Amino acid sequence: MKLVLNFSLCLFLVTLFVGCEPNDFREGVVMAGGHYVPAKTLNKGKQIYAEYCMACHGVKGDGNGVASKGLQPPPRNFTLGIIKFGDVVSGELPHDESIYKALKHGLNGSAMLPWDLKREQMQAVWQYIKTFAPKTWIGKDKKLGEKLNEQPFKDPFTLAGKAQAIEIGKKIYHVEANCQTCHRGYVTLAEYDSMSRELADESIDELDDDFYKLKIQESDHGYSSIPPDFTWHELRSVRADHEIEDIYLRLLAGVGGTSMPAWQGTLEDQKIWALAYYVQSLRQYKNSPKRKEFVSRFK
C-alpha cells in the first residue's frame, strides 16, 4: 500500500513539475531552412497527429496505420523523408506551404482527404511529422529547395492561344519528351508518323506494343507507382480551380521519389506550358461518354 502511494505521489510530483508525459518533446529543434520550432508546437502537433492522421500514417509515421490496409496509393511513409508534391524540383526539400496546400485540398483520387484544420494546426502537425525523418529535416545546415512558384507564373499562351498550345503540346508530348515511355500515347500511327517527320525528321512505320499502355514504375516509396492516364485518372496535386497552374508546376517540379522527372531545365518554359495545356485538354474525356470514342481510335 505504502509503495503504491509512494509511486502515485511520485508520478503526481513528476507531472506537476515537468508538466508533460515521458515521451513529449522537452526541447525545440531547428528544422531545415533554419527556423526554430519550440517544444510546445511539436507537442501540439503530436496531439493533432494522434487525433487525425495516425490511423493511416501510423504511430511511427511509417504509413502502417490501422486504417492503411489495402489503400492504393498507400499513406506516405514519413520516415523516408520523401515528399511527392513539393513546390521545388523533386528531390529537394519542399517549403511548408506546399504541404498546407495538400492538407487543405487533399490529394485527389487518394485516401488523403481535404482537412479542415486551422493554419496553426497545420503548422504544428507538419513540424511534428518532420521529426519522423530527423536525418532529412532536423539541423540548421539543411537547406530547402528553390521555390518554383515564388514569382507569379507567366503563361505565354493564355486562353486566346489555348488551341495552339494544345497542338504544340501534343507534339512535344509524343516526339520530343516521349511522355508515353511511362504514360500512354494518345495519337494514331499516322499522326505519330507525321509529327515525327515534322519535328525529328524521322518516319515511324509501327508503334511499340505498349504504346497505348501505362508502364508501371518502381519508386523510392517502397511500392510501384502508376503513371496516370490523363483521360482516366485523377491528378493528385491538381486543384480544379487552379488547373493549368498546378499542372504546369507539377511538370516543372516532377513527383518526388518517383520516376516522374522535373522538366524544368530539360525543356524550354514555353514547351512546358504547351504540355500543361495538352494534359489539361486530355482531362475533358475523364468521366465523359466522349472517352470511349476518343480511345477507340487507338486500338
Residues lying near ligand HEC in the complex (CB under 6 A):
52-53, 55-57, 67, 71, 73, 75-76, 83-85, 99, 102-103, 107, 110-112, 115, 125, 173, 177, 179, 181-183, 217, 225, 227-228, 235-238, 247, 250-251, 255, 258-261, 263, 275, 279
In the complex, minimum distance from the CB of residue 139 to ligand HEC, in angstroms, rounded to a whole number: 20
| Rounded Cα–Cα distance for residues 285 and 291 (Å) | 5
CB of 79 to ligand HEC, least distance (A): 13
* Minimum distance from residue 207 beta carbon to ligand HEC (Å): 17
Cβ proximity of 146 and 97 under 8 Å: no
The owner of cell 505498349 is 210
CB closer to ligand HEC out of 25 and 49: 49
Nearest to 30 by CA among 100, 121, 127, 124: 127
Please report how close the Cβ of residue 60 comes to ligand HEC at its closest, in angstroms.
14
Taking the least distance from each CB to ligand HEC, the nearer of 29 and 83 is: 83
Alpha helices by DSSP H, listed for the chain, are 2-18, 39-48, 54-57, 96-105, 119-130, 134-137, 162-171, 189-200, 243-253, 269-282, 290-296
Q: How far is the CB of 126 from ligand HEC (least distance, A)?
A: 6
Comparison of 42 and 103: residue with beta carbon closer to ligand HEC: 103
Q: What is the rounded CA–CA span in Å between residue 178 and residue 175? A: 5
**Choice between 29 and 280, CB closer to ligand HEC:** 280
* Least Å from the CB of residue 71 to ligand HEC: 5
Minimum distance from CB of 65 to ligand HEC (Å)?
A: 7
Q: Which is nearer to ligand HEC, 32 or 53 (CB)?
A: 53
Contact between 223 and 128 under an 8 Å Cβ cutoff? The reply is no
DSSP H or E segment with residue 37: strand 36-37
CA 111, 113, 117, 122 torsion-angle sign:
positive
> Measured from the CB atom, is 46 or 57 closer to ligand HEC?
57
Choose between 107 and 165: whose C-beta lies nearer to ligand HEC.
107
**CA distances, 80 to each of 43, 131, 155 (Å):** 21, 11, 35
Cβ–Cβ under 8 Å, residues 61 and 126? no
User: Considering beta carbons, is residue 13 or 67 the nearer one to ligand HEC?
Assistant: 67
Q: Which residue has 536525418 as its cell numbers?
A: 135
Cis peptide preceding 94, ω within 30 of 0: no
Contact 114, 105 (CB under 8 A): yes
d(CA 53, CA 103) in angstroms, rounded, equals 11
Q: Which cell numbers hold the place of 6?
A: 509512494
Helix axes 119-130, 96-105, angle to 10 degrees: 120
User: Nearest distance from residue 266's CB to ligand HEC, in Å?
Assistant: 9
**Which DSSP category does 36 fall into?**
E
